Structure 1
Amino acid sequence: MIGGAPHAAGQPELAVAYRECRQIAAAHGRTYFLATRLLSAERRPAVHALYAFARMVDDIVDHAETDVAQRYPSHAWQLPEHGPGGELELIEKQLRIVLESQEAASAAGLLGVALEPYRAATYATDTRTLVLLAVADTIHRYDIAAQHFWTFLDSMRMDVPGTARFRDRYATMAELHEYMSGSAAAIGLQVLPILGTVAPIADAEPAAAALGEAFQLTNFLRDVAEDLERGRVYLPADELAAFGVDHELLVHCHHTRRTDPRVRRALAHFIAINRDIYRHAEPGIDLLEPRVRPAIRTAAVLYASILDRIEDSDYAVFSHRAVVPRHHRLRVAATQFTAAAITR
């Protein structure tokens, strides 16, 4: 089953599931949500489902149960006593069970059976069930390779203490690339069948993976302080060391909320690397179906604008979070939409 909007008729669970994913995307993915507004109506629910799945997994990895409930009270994830590592195993098991069903319409029942032994709390809305139902339907509908989801979950295990793959520091850019190939590139490859291409999909995959990595490296640069609070440093140690930066200096900057000149130079170096990845990804946008290109260009331009905000703040990543103003986001989206309309 490829393409087309979810059919609510006879499948009320799907309608509710996709609606929940849309709410999650609107609340927590402002840049991506704005970009999806430029997609055709039938594609938007699938992109929302992928975003909600990634958000669900990321929040389970990053936050304890009480923190998640406080930050996202309207989207409380099921968090029994297993811990984040156990939760990732559970999510993978649940998704595999749903995908093994022949008909997406029966997925809700199968998912309910899979979840029942693990229910440790009762929520008015079982967000996890809804997200998994929507993402399973999206996988079937657009014939997305399930391997991209297992690769994503494997990378997420690298963020979880106690798992065999755990890593809180990265010695080299090659090590970081290994992480991003699952956590970011895999998401780019998940989205690609939904967007559609004018060339064989394999031709567009390298650029889609690169764009995912570009987005994630931007996140790492914006969230240096937040990651330090979680005991993580994603920026590679050897690249930092070339500028005289080590873990202790980063911690000092975080405590003082001031960016040391050595850290400032290192951040400028990583921003140059990041922009180069965006440049390598950009030609791949022309391989997408014409109608979706404005949305992806909007996402790329807006996310790259975060780098401009970091520079404009004199690299003050330890004192505030770089945010692209709403008026700028709207202006970029309008420009891309207008340009696309003119060229049609």
Structure 2
Amino acid sequence: MKDARDLRSGKGPRDENFPVASILIEARFRPPIMALYSFARAADDVADHPSASASEKLHRLAEMRGALIGDHDREPAAAALRQVLADRGLPVVHGLDLLEAFRRDVIQSRYANWEALMEYCRYSAAPVGRMVLDIHGESPGAWPASDALCAALQVINHLQDCGEDYCDLDRVYLPEEDLSAAEQDVTALGAPRASAGLRLVIAGLARRTQELLHRSRPLADQVRSRRLQLEIAVIQRLAEDLARRLIVRDPLSERVHHSKLELFGLTASAVVRVLRPGRPPRNLIAGAAE
């Protein structure tokens, strides 16, 4: 292998459940956010590659770490993010935290309880929101609400993909404690339809995710950038709807993801909610096409 590109999955921003540097974000902030996304996507593809060995994955992630901290330029996505952060005087710590999460994905496939899952989200999810806030020059005071939102998004992804994660990667993010309490084991995730017990586990975790989303609700009002407020509001709205769906739908046999029409409706309702209290700045919409 030459670099992490040899293990790429082919997935891109359009394959994600939530917006990535959408048109709501100011044009000047989209390139650095996309550099972050490209870095995270490259590392995720390494950790999830179906045929690469664990040692191969760990080596590639270590190479990405080296490129991120400036030891070499052998990993293009990591070197590009390093340059973006250096240009803005921002630290690489959030990127290093993300690499730790992907390293854990290689060596850890089970989580004992909700607390262990939240500890994982501290590395796999929170750094993304923190870096987006840093790129916008927002205050670290918004980190707690951002951490809650990012953890919620991570758990929603885990719940939606719980069957695929188990069958394709033998990776289970549903806490063992919850499965045991419902008298379930991980093999239930390989069935074509969730059992009653597994549905209870998924619904229970979705409700705990709603608690995270309750804590993240103030986030949009905590940032100064009106355009970032809109992006956050849309993501919050989509996450709230998906959490509700996971309480009543079976991700093993039913569609949970939003259709394009549903995405449009939820996005529009979130934007209207942000703009309703007052008149938006004159350049808010005009600048969206920059």
What is the TM-score of this pair, normalised by structure 1?
0.71
Q: Report Cα offsets for 1:91-117 as digits up to 9, x if no partner.
A: 11112117xxxxxxxxxxx62xxx2xx
State how far apart, in whole Å, the 2-side matches of 1:260 and 1:24 are: 31
Residue 18 of structure 2 aligns with an amino acid whose one-letter code is: T
- Seen in structure 2, the aligned counterparts of structure 1 residues 242 and 336 have a Cα distance that, compared at 3 Å, is same
Change (3 A) 1:153 1:81: closer
Which residue is equivalent to 1:15?
Answer: none
Instruction: After superposition, give the CA deviation of every residue in 1:305-334 in whole Å (9 maximum; x if it has no partner).
Output: 2233334xx432223552111112122323
Q: What amino acid is the match of 2:262?
A: H
Whole-Å separation in 2 of the counterparts to 1:81 and 1:298: 37
Offset at 1:341? Answer: 4.1
**Who is 1:301 aligned against?**
237
Q: Supply the AA of the counterpart residue of 2:85.
A: I
Q: Are the counterparts in 1 of residues 237 and 270 from structure 2 also a CA contact under 8 Å?
A: no
Contiguous gaps of at least 5 residues in structure 1: 1-22, 66-78, 99-109, 116-127, 161-165
Contact 2:194-2:252 at 8 Å conserved across structures: yes
Q: 1:93 is matched by which residue type in structure 2?
A: G
Could you tell me which residue of structure 1 aligns to residue 170 of structure 2?
231
Report the 3-state secondary structure (helix = DSSP H, G, I; strand = E; otherwise coil) of the residue aligned with 1:234.
Answer: coil
After TM superposition, list the pairs within 5 Å mapping 1:1-12 onto structure 2.
Answer: none
Q: In the superposition, relative to structure 1, how do residues 291 and 93 fare at CA in structure 2: closer, same or farther (>3 Å)?
A: same
Question: Secondary structure at the residue paired with 1:87?
Answer: helix
Q: Give distance in 2, aligned partners of 1:82 and 1:243.
A: 35
Are positions 1:258 and 2:193 aligned together? yes
1:338 CA displacement: 3.8
Aligned position for 2:212: 277
Is the 1:43–1:194 contact (alpha carbons within 8 Å) kept by the matching residues of 2?
Answer: yes
**Which one of the candidate residues 76, 81, 88 is aligned to 1:135?**
81
* Conservation of the 8 A alpha-carbon contact between 2:24 and 2:231: yes
Match of 1:172 among 108, 113, 120: 113
Local SS of the residue matching 2:217: helix
Q: Deviations over 1:178-213 (max 9, x none)?
A: 21110111222111112343xxx2311111111111
Give a deviation string over 1:52-77, Cα, whole Å, max 9, x none: 21111111110146xxxxxxxxxxxx
State the SS of the aligned residue for 2:63: helix
Query: Residues 155-182 of structure 1: CA distance to partner in whole angstroms, max 9, x if unpaired?
Result: 211111xxxxx22111121211221110
Distance (whole Å) between structure 2 residues aligned to residue 143 and residue 209 of structure 1: 22
In structure 2, distance between residues paired with 1:52 and 1:142: 18
Q: Is the 8 Å Cα contact of residues 243 and 263 (structure 1) preserved in structure 2?
A: yes
Aligned to 2:125: 184
Q: Please, which of 256, 259, 265 is the counterpart of residue 331 of structure 1? A: 265
| 1:1-344 matched pairs, under 5 angstroms | 25-29=12-16, 31-33=18-20, 36-64=22-50, 83-97=56-70, 111=73, 115=74, 129=76, 131-160=77-106, 166-197=107-138, 201-229=139-167, 230-248=169-187, 250-251=188-189, 254-255=190-191, 257-289=192-224, 290-311=226-247, 314-320=248-254, 322-342=256-276, 343=278, 344=280
CA change 1:339–1:310 in 2 (3 A) is closer
Contact map agreement 2:65 2:78 (CA 8 A) in 1: no
User: What TM-score do the two structures reach when normalised by structure 2?
Assistant: 0.83
Distance 1:337 1:315, change over 3 A: closer
- Report if aligned partners of 1:305, 1:324 keep a CA contact under 8 Å in 2: no
- In structure 2, relative to structure 1, the CA distance for the partners of 1:83 and 1:304 (3 Å cut) is farther
Q: Which amino acid aligns with 2:105?
A: D
Shift in Å, 1:47:
1.5
Q: Tell me the SS of whatever aligns to 1:316.
A: coil
**Cα distance 1:307–1:45, how it changes in 2: closer, same or farther (>3 A)?**
same
Secondary structure, in 3 states, of the residue corresponding to 1:279?
A: helix
Q: Give the distance between the partners of 1:176 and 1:26, measured in 2 at CA.
A: 25
Write out per-residue CA displacement over residues 83-140 of structure 1, whole angstroms, 9 at most, x where no aligned residue.
1111101111112117xxxxxxxxxxx62xxx2xxxxxxxxxxxx52x3343123312
User: 1:145, 1:63 → 2: CA distance?
Assistant: 28
Consecutive unaligned residues in structure 2, runs of 5 or more: 1-9, 281-290
Aligned CA distance change for structure 1 residues 170 and 308 (closer, same or farther; 3 Å): same
Q: Which amino acid aligns with 1:174?
A: E
The answer to whether the Cα contact below 8 Å between 2:112 and 2:175 also exists between their aligned partners in 1 is yes
